Amino acid sequence: MVKHDKPDAATHRTAAHKADTLKRLGRLEGQVRGIARMVEEDRYCIDIVTQIAAARAALRKVEEEILREHVAHCVEHAIASGDKADQRRKVAELMDVMGRAGK
């Protein structure tokens, strides 16, 4: 896994984007708690699996939005800067995360 060497790398997020992401994650947290309740209540397996699929889709959406922001800001900045090492690092990060996402 490629590690970013700048501790302030996440500061590009707007307040609105951060709030939206946190709201999505809060809803997802509630979904997961609901799934746990379904298991505790011995609900029908297919209903549980359906809710798990919905939670996974919601998590993928959050991931997609964060990646979109990363490309729009961090990667775009690296390209505009002309810093070849930073450009290579950003491409390596994307390749690493996309490789893990495909598994």
Let me know the angle formed at the C-alpha of 75 by 73 and 79, rounded to the nearest 5 degrees: 110
Could you tell me the CATH number of the domain that includes residue 39? 1.20.58.1000
What does the mean pLDDT of the chain come to? 88
What distance in Å separates the CA atoms of residue 5 and residue 39, rounded to the nearest whole number? 42
What distance in Å separates the CA atoms of residue 28 and residue 58, rounded to the nearest whole number? 7
Number of domains in the chain: 1
Q: How confident is the model at residue 3 (pLDDT cuts 50, 70, 90)?
A: low
Query: Mapping DSSP to helix (H, G, I), strand (E, B) and coil, where does residue 5 land?
Result: coil
The answer to whether residues 58 and 27 touch, using CB atoms and an 8 Å cutoff, is yes
CA atoms within 13 A on the CB side of 31: 19
Residue 28's domain comprises 16-101
Q: What integer is the mean pLDDT of 47-52? A: 98
Q: What's the confidence (pLDDT) of residue 80?
A: 92
Residue 8 lies in a domain: no
